[in-house]
Amino acid sequence: MVEIAVAIIGAGTSIFASVITLIGVFAKLKQSNSEIVNRLEKSQAVTETKIEELTREVREHNGFARRMPVVEEQIRVANHRLDDLEKQNQH
């Protein structure tokens, strides 16, 4: 009878220790998960900021790319006028 009581107490203690261990493991997993979520959110914010900056730079570049042919044409016209003026002055 004493052996049975000792066995029951031992089993109860073992179960109690297992439950406490599981609670600790779950608490640690929750904390780790929270830290991972925070790091992912920060990383996402950095990525979004970089994408916004790149988008701004691409728009700026596209604006230059649209204006360059106009500027090149104006330079051609100005060069042609200068050539005409130089020819007139040579005569």
What is the C-alpha to C-alpha distance for residues 91 and 82, in angstroms, rounded to an integer? 15
Q: How big is the chain, counted in residues?
A: 91
Give per-residue pLDDT as tens, 41-90: 999 999 999 999 999 999 999 998 889 999 999 999 999 999 999 888 88
What is the C-alpha to C-alpha distance for residues 74 and 80, in angstroms, rounded to an integer? 10
pTM over cut 0.85: no
